[in-house]
Amino acid sequence: MKTVLITGAGIGIGRATAKAFGAAGYRVIVTDVLPDEGASVVEEISAAGGTAEFHPLDVTSTEAANAVVAMVEANYGAIDTVVCNAGIAHKVPLDELSDEKWDHTFDVDLKGMFRVIRAAAPKMRAAGTGSVVCLSSIMGVAYGWDEHVQYSSAKSGVVGMVRGLAVELAPSGLRVNGVAPGYIRTAQALSEKHSLGPEGLAQAADFIPMGRVGEAEDIADVILFLASDAARYLTGQVVTVDGGLLVGRY
């Protein structure tokens, strides 16, 4: 049985991704800073006949990332797929954007991915196979986002990390790709304080060519594809999944 480790798997895209991998027959290592939500994902996967377990993980801690990866490897061997999904998006005007707030977003959204990948890579390389999928955003590949400059910057950094790691790890048989979601119906997008809110998200459907806002499952299925043998010759790419938004809004 293949093993996938997913960060931020308690809610939103991470949750949908965990359930998709569970349905595909993977052993799903659900990690999050939200223990109740993480445990409930495990219950859902198990109830559907899948295999899953929850481990608390704050990706801003190198010690915690190393420990969780080591524990999984001790029990199951090299991890087959790492999905780096944990992230935050806080609305902060430039004149209130302190070094600490900037650093915190980068610590979660970019360095948090690096910590987990760095920990898992040695045994994956030794195994000569595996895949990594990192979550960027349309705000990291095409758009700027008002009062979210730290988020757009970190998510742009994810693109560079995907490219650099893809080249470095390809000779070892590992593939590294990313997904850049558009407007997706998640708790983050529904936040009026930090994002569009319910009304803004509903209005977004009007200028998305496919006529609807995305669902978490729309992203999860692409992540599952990127991890699969169907994407065996695909590495170093960040796939935009946005219902045609970027190509259709002039």
Using the predicted structure, report yes or no on whether residue 104 has a pLDDT greater than 80: yes
Euclidean distance between CA atoms 239 and 227, whole angstroms: 13
User: What was the pLDDT predicted at 189?
Assistant: 60
Per DSSP, what are the bridge partners of residue 29? 5, 53
User: What was the pLDDT predicted at 185?
Assistant: 83
Question: Coil, strand or helix: which one is 132?
Answer: strand
Average pLDDT over residues 171-183: 97
Q: Where are the beta strands (DSSP E) in the chain?
A: 3-6, 27-32, 51-56, 81-84, 130-135, 174-181, 238-241
For residue 94, count CB atoms less than 10 angstroms from its CB and return exposed for 0-12, middle for 13-18, buried for 19 or more. exposed
Using the predicted structure, report yes or no on whether residue 136 has a pLDDT greater than 70: yes
Q: Count of CB atoms within 10 A of residue 36's CB?
A: 9
User: What was the pLDDT predicted at 117?
Assistant: 98
Euclidean distance between CA atoms 47 and 25, whole angstroms: 13
User: What was the pLDDT predicted at 199?
Assistant: 74
User: What was the pLDDT predicted at 197?
Assistant: 65
Strands across the sheet with 51-56, in order?
51-56, 27-32, 3-6, 81-84, 130-135, 174-181, 238-241
* Average per-residue pLDDT for the chain: 94
Task: Please provide the distance, in angstroms rounded to a whole number, between the alpha carbons at the two ends of the chain.
Answer: 46
Q: Count of CB atoms within 10 A of residue 231's CB?
A: 18
Euclidean distance between CA atoms 93 and 193, whole angstroms: 12
User: What was the pLDDT predicted at 34?
Assistant: 96
Average pLDDT over residues 133-159: 96
With contact defined as beta carbons under 8 Å apart, do 89 and 138 qualify? no
Give the residue numbers marked as catalytic.
151
Using the predicted structure, report yes or no on whether residue 74 has a pLDDT greater than 60: yes
Average pLDDT over residues 66-86: 98
Of 180, 176, 114, the residue nearest 152 (C-alpha): 180
Q: Sketch out the chain's domains with CATH numbers.
A: 3-240 (3.40.50.720)
pLDDT tens digits for range 188-246: 665 556 566 677 777 888 889 999 999 999 999 999 999 999 999 999 999 999 999 99
